[in-house]
Amino acid sequence: MIFISVNTPTKLTGVGAGKASDLKWVEASARQVASYSKGHTIVVEKSTLPVRTAEVIKSILKSVSELTPEEESNKTFDVLSNPEFLAEGSAVNDLLYPDRVLIGGESKSAISQLSQIYENWVPREKILETNIWSSELAKLTANAFLAQRISSINSIGAICEATGADVREVARAIGTDSRIGSKFLNSGPGFGGSCFKKDILNLVYLSEHFGLPEVANFWEEVVKLNDWHQRRIPRLIAKKLFGTLSGKKIGILGFAFKANTNDTRESAAIQICKDLIEEGANLLIHDPKVSTIQICKDLKCDPLNIEKEKLNSNEFVHGSWKPVNNKYDVFNNSDAVLLLTEWEEYKKIKWDLAFQKLRKPAWVFDSRSILDSEEVNKAGINFWRFGNGLN
């Protein structure tokens, strides 16, 4: 049994650029399996793939094995789809205690052999068998639904801000409806990570490909709303800071796309920091796990320009942003601090100490709703939280 678990990034050029998945690694893997396998082989798609990729794998396996000399040609294959639902930061737990394991395929015997592996630790009733196309589509659909919930709650957050409602109260109120459920209703700076955007755009591409433009538009709106939401944050900050950010110092707490990972792929922090810099702000960026080099790559500045002694001085390098190792340094003479990643350690900040370091009037913007507004206000700092109409 061979698992294909390779990257399927979004194509950057050619047909489907910006939306379709680049399957070159899947294809290369299938060719290798076809040439080196002997006897019967079960090939399992573990990577997230567009629907009907199994067909591509099957045809490669068939055509390459047909070239094998007749005396060695005892090769046969079954292809299964067994998508991965692990999330970063909780992957081992998700693997040990999955909500479900999905196995799609045609051959009952192949499905049963893969199922037996999982049955070593997963209850049988949690192992779902489907046809191969349903399994491939279910993976994209799961991520699309999760991302859609985040865009939905963030859109409601904007209405809350305009009307005096509080998105956290609305989320709690709807989350107790068992048909809706309470998970994935935390408003934030917009979803990030390597999968949500990529998988939705893949779905959009598939819908367009199959002549379903209304379906494509529906899912594309989830991504568009997320982009709009990220871009409105710098505008909101500018509004609170008397309409201009030029020359102002803003501290950034968190750069990873979520807590408990150093991954910054598609992190909301990237666009938000770029827009703040564009507005002329000088940023002090802290993240407990993301490296300075990574932030340099994401903000498109040359890491070679960073000299160690300058990083430790109070001067801004690049004129626009500077990494800091100590979270309290983001407050140094800053006009505002924006929390973007929900790291546990940010909940324990001593606001009296922060207040002493900030330039007054000082602001804290909490995009993740993890801080205690009363504590921040008590220290003398203005507080703004996403989706709170009473801000």
> Which active-site residues does the annotation give?
195
- Do β-strands 382-385 and 363-366 pair in parallel, antiparallel, or remain unpaired? parallel
Q: Is 230 in the site for ligand UGA (CB under 6 A)?
A: no
Shortest approach of ligand UGA to residue 121 CB, angstroms? 18
d(CA 256, CA 88): 11
The single residue among 86, 117, 212, 390 that binds ligand UGA, judged by CB under 6 A, is 86
The single residue among 30, 80, 150, 339 that binds ligand UGA, judged by CB under 6 A, is 150
Segment contacting ligand UGA by CB under 6 A, of 5-13, 161-169, 186-194, 273-281: 186-194
Structure tokens at 268: 């909301």
Contact 249, 284 (CB under 8 A): yes
Q: Is 290 in the site for ligand UGA (CB under 6 A)?
A: no
Q: Is 148 in the site for ligand UGA (CB under 6 A)?
A: no
- What residues numbered 47-66 form the site for ligand UGA, per CB under 6 A? 48
186 C-beta neighbours (distance < 10 Å), count: 18
d(CA 109, CA 98): 23
d(CA 202, CA 218): 13
* Cβ proximity to ligand UGA, 285 vs 340, nearer residue: 340
Q: Is 327 in the site for ligand UGA (CB under 6 A)?
A: no
Q: Is 192 in the site for ligand UGA (CB under 6 A)?
A: yes
Q: Is 171 in the site for ligand UGA (CB under 6 A)?
A: no
E-strand spans in the chain?
2-4, 40-45, 76-81, 101-104, 127-130, 249-253, 282-286, 321-323, 336-339, 363-366, 382-385
* Cβ proximity to ligand UGA, 198 vs 322, nearer residue: 198
346-352-357 Cα angle (round to 5): 85
Q: Is 228 in the site for ligand UGA (CB under 6 A)?
A: no
211-215-218 Cα angle (round to 5): 145
Going by C-beta distance under 8 Å and a sequence separation of 6 or more, which residues neighbour residue 93?
none
Q: Is 258 in the site for ligand UGA (CB under 6 A)?
A: yes
Q: Is 346 in the site for ligand UGA (CB under 6 A)?
A: no
* Cβ proximity to ligand UGA, 3 vs 184, nearer residue: 184
Chain contacts with ligand UGA (rule: CB under 6 A): 48, 84-88, 143, 146, 150, 184-186, 188, 191-193, 195-196, 257-258
